[in-house]
Amino acid sequence: MTEATDRRRERRARQANAAGAARMRPISYDLPVYELLRPEGVQRVHDMSMRILGELGIDFYDEEARQILKDHGADVRGETVFFDEQLILKYAGMAPRQFTQLARNPQNNVTIGGNQIVFAPVYGCPFVQDLDRGRREATLADFQNFVKLAYMSPYIHHSGGTVVEPTDEPVATRHLDMLLSHISYSDKAFMGSVTAGKNAADSVAMAEIVFGADAIREHPALLSLINVSSPRRFDDRMLSCIKVYARARQAMIITPFILAGAMGPTSIAGTVAQLNAEALAGIALCQMISPGTPVIYGSFLSTIDLQSGAPTFGTPESQVALYISAQMARHYGLPFRGGGTFSSSKLPDAQAGYESIMVMIPTIMARTNFVLHAAGWLENGLVSGYEKFVLDCEILGMLHTWAKGVDLSDEAFAFDAFQEVPPGGHFLGTGHTMRHFRDAFYRAELFDYNSAEQWELNGAPDSYARANAKVKQLLASYEQPALDQGTAQALREFVARRKAAIALEPHDF
């Protein structure tokens, strides 16, 4: 495919965006992948992980999970489970190298693994932030707004999960509102709940309503985020979700969340070895429960400020760790999740811009298959920023262009243009430019390329102010994607029934 065809496709996607139904396919990354470690380095990380798994073990706070691990050959002593290398490699090797997650619009199905890079929004923020109202607790209305923004962005391929925490809804039923919002306000793929095993079961039930019980067992319709309680610990909540999702053959991301210095040692090599051990242990359990269950090797690794203990994001150490953990996932033939537009900043200022790209470029160049937090992240993940979200989307657009690399066709070498233009001339009027000017270069919408004079006349808006206007324009022009009436009705009934039932249960959290 030529650059120009590609660009025309992109332009059409942008035009579609204006009408509220945009899409760009996930990135097919065919450029060279950046391998920071040499093979000996990969081996050293692997070896240390095997020592951790074999000599120190991982705690699993669920009796049934421990029994499963024991039945499959692990050495269980109390709550701690020890794995030998052969056992880990046998079960990690059962996971598929790539899989397809269903979206309710089949055009938005995503392949995860291989050379594919899928972008999903920020996840888990209890707060939102914007220029008009500052920082505040997130609500279900905010949740739906971020689902809409992700739906409208041509560069976000996935609707994500807890895009913000809807703190105005009861904790016990919140997962139902979130799932219903993803399904109603977007037609992209989405994530399941991990707040309790029964909430995971609700997620599976809702996916069955939308896609059918057989269909989701052939290709997963849910992708759920299993966090390891690092160091070396899977809690009962996550294990109950693993059991539900593995038995329903729904996809999971097994992600150790490690801030080096706090939940991991004060060094990158040690922390990555720990992450590798924890991820592989969780992945092995999934495969023991249901061989071939789609899983992603997750890496969420940053640092703390060793003077204050505060988390720090967008640091050079996290950039190094990202490359290495991606290499480890490839070493085991597993799809990889990592990176995002991380920042410690409280608002979308220069710090946020610097830090976000400091992580996002390695994210791409490590060929990360699933990028959670690809847009919106602020303040160490406590905050989903409206303006930050659309600014990050601009960057995702640029990274789509970056990932195309360079066209080396005769047409791209443009010898006819050189023949036309004398020394000191310009290329604006050449036949080559005429053939390509519409689609030649990525054109940012939010970045200002005006002269200083024009920019002053426009009111000298910084990128925060311009993004604010863009958010308002997007939300005002949002159009809901059609949803089959029967499905919509069945989902509403399911949610109502479950809410009524949950209201009668003793609340355990």
Q: Which stretch binds a second copy (CB under 8 A): 11-19, 255-263, 283-291, 475-483?
A: 255-263
The region of 19-27, 33-41, 92-100, 141-149 touching a second copy under the rule CB under 8 A is 33-41
User: Nearest CA to 190 among 235, 154, 227, 146?
Assistant: 146
485 binds a second copy (CB under 8 A): no
Q: Is 77 helix (H, G, I), strand (E, B) or coil?
A: strand
Return the number of the residue (25 or 346) whose C-beta is nearest a second copy: 346
Left if phi > 0, otherwise alpha if psi is -120 to 50, otherwise beta: which for 448?
Answer: beta
Q: Which of 205, 262, 469, 488 is in the footprint of a second copy by CB under 8 A?
A: 262
Which of 8, 11, 12, 51 binds a second copy (CB under 8 A)? It is 51
Q: Which is nearer to a second copy, 373 or 436 (CB)?
A: 436
Nearer Cβ to a second copy (93/309):
309
Span near a second copy by CB under 8 A; candidates 172-180, 218-226, 238-246, 426-434: 426-434
Residue 229 sits in the site that holds a second copy (CB under 8 A): yes
478 touches a second copy by CB under 8 A: no
CA distances from 341 to 45, 144, 323, 348, 357 (A): 26, 21, 15, 11, 7
> Is position 30 an interface residue for a second copy (rule: CB under 8 A)?
no
**Cβ distance 147 to 188 under 8 Å?**
no
User: What's the rounded Cα separation, in Å, for the pair 131 and 470?
Assistant: 12
- Is 450 a binder of a second copy (CB under 8 A)? yes
Does 308 sit near a second copy (CB under 8 A)?
yes
Least Cβ distance, residue 434 to a second copy (angstroms):
9
371 strand-pairing partners:
119
How far is residue 108's CA from residue 110's CA, in Å, rounded to a whole number?
Answer: 6
Whichever of 23 and 232 has its CB closer to a second copy, that residue is: 232
Closest separation in Å from C-beta 62 to a second copy: 14
Residue with Cβ nearer a second copy (36 or 209): 36
The single residue among 166, 220, 256, 264 that binds a second copy, judged by CB under 8 A, is: 264
- Write the CB contacts of 195 (distance below 8 Å, at least 6 apart in sequence): 171, 174, 175, 237, 509
What's the min distance (Å) between Cβ of 160 and a second copy?
21
Contact 69, 281 (CB under 8 A): no
Question: In the range 386-415, which residues lie near a second copy by CB under 8 A?
Answer: 388, 391, 394-395, 398-399, 401-402, 405-409, 411-415
Angstrom distance (rounded) from CA 495 to CA 509: 20
Query: Residue 317 CB, nearest distance to a second copy (Å)?
Result: 5
CB atoms within 10 A of CB 472: 13
Q: b/e string for 394-408 if b means 16 or more Cβ within 10 A?
A: bbbbbbbbbbbeeee
Amino acid at 275: L
**Interacting residue with a second copy among 16, 36, 475, 502 (CB under 8 A):** 36
Q: Do 474 and 185 contact (CB within 8 A), yes or no?
A: no
Using only C-alpha atoms, the chain has a radius of gyration, in whole angstroms, of 23
Cα 448 to Cα 7, 351, 394, 458: the distances in Å are: 21, 18, 12, 11
CB of residue 427 to a second copy, shortest distance in Å: 5
- Selected from 73, 114, 265, 481, the binder of a second copy by CB under 8 A is 265
Q: Which is nearer to a second copy, 107 or 451 (CB)?
A: 451
Q: Whose CA is closest to 89, among 287, 383, 274, 348?
A: 287
Which residue lies nearer to a second copy by CB, 206 or 324? Answer: 324
CA dist., res. 227 & res. 241, Å (int): 11
Does residue 1 belong to the site contacting a second copy (CB under 8 A)? no
Select the residue interacting with a second copy from 436, 468, 470, 471 (CB under 8 A).
436
240, 287, 312, 325: which one contacts a second copy (CB under 8 A)? 312
The whole-angstrom separation of Cα 349 and Cα 360 is 17
Query: What is the residue type of 350?
Result: A
Distance (Å, rounded) from C-alpha 341 to C-alpha 396? Answer: 10
Figure out which of the listed residues 463, 474, 491, 498 binds a second copy, where binding follows CB under 8 A: 463
26, 111 Cβ separation under 8 angstroms: yes
- Per-residue interface string for the shown chain with a second copy, residues 347-366, x marking contact by CB under 8 A: xxxxxxxxxxxx--xx--x-
Q: Which amino acid is at 164?
A: V
Nearer to a second copy, 99 or 257 (CB): 257
Applying CB under 8 A, which of residues 141, 418, 477, 503 lies at the interface with a second copy? 418
469 makes contact with a second copy (CB under 8 A): no
Structure token digits, residue 107: 């055009």
d(CA 463, CA 353): 10
Q: Which of residues 77-136 bind a second copy (CB under 8 A)?
A: 80, 135
Total of residues contacting a second copy (CB under 8 A): 124
Which residues 163-222 are close enough to bind a second copy by CB under 8 A?
A: none
* Candidate ranges 85-93, 137-145, 231-239, 474-482; the one touching a second copy (CB under 8 A): 231-239
